[in-house]
Amino acid sequence: MSIYVLRLGHRPARDKRITSHLMLTARAFGASGVIYTGIRDPKVEETVRRACADWGGPFSVEYADDWRGAIKQWKRRGKVIHLTMYGLPIQEAIAAIRDDPSDKLLAVGGAKVPGGVYSLADWNVAVTSQPHSEVSALAVFLHELLEGAELDKVFEGARLWVVPQERGKRVEGAPGTV
């Protein structure tokens, strides 16, 4: 099963940091790539590509000018899960989603989510029914979906890595990278 994230409605002036955080969270928590809609932003794409070059792992960043088309195209390949505060509680939906072997597209909003997303999704899933960040919803959902296995993920081709220790910061890498 591969997992991709669809970031709905990116607005560079307002969302550049949150979108890059969302993409980096997707990568770190086990997704294979991200598709984003809204306004194309080469800077956010480059930020994520640079992080991948340094910290490893294959991860794709794609732009789609039409969210509806992106979802419909994905549905020929797998299932769509919309992360929203209005869906079924994650604790009720996660087992069925996990048991489905299809590839997954996790749709997350920024600006007001178009109503059509709710009807096109195979599951509308609430990670709490309170307002919070799409980044936190994505992290919690991926953690639940992958049952914590993402925490042990090894990123192939990394030039940098953190050496775990109780105190301080220690980053190692290939000569000349740190």
145 is in an annotated binding site: no
- CA distances to 41, 72, 76, 96, 134 from 69, rounded to whole Å, are 19, 5, 11, 26, 22
Distinct helix (H) and strand (E) counts, the chain: 6, 8
Contact criterion met (CB below 8 Å) for 52 and 68: no
- What is the pairing mode between strands 60-63 and 103-108? unpaired
- CA distances to 5, 69, 75, 120, 165 from 116, rounded to whole Å, are 17, 11, 14, 6, 47
As a dihedral over the C-alpha atoms of residue 137, residue 139, residue 145, residue 146, rounded to 10 degrees, the angle is 180
Indicate the annotated binding residues for S-adenosyl-L-methionine: 83
Indicate the annotated binding residues: 83
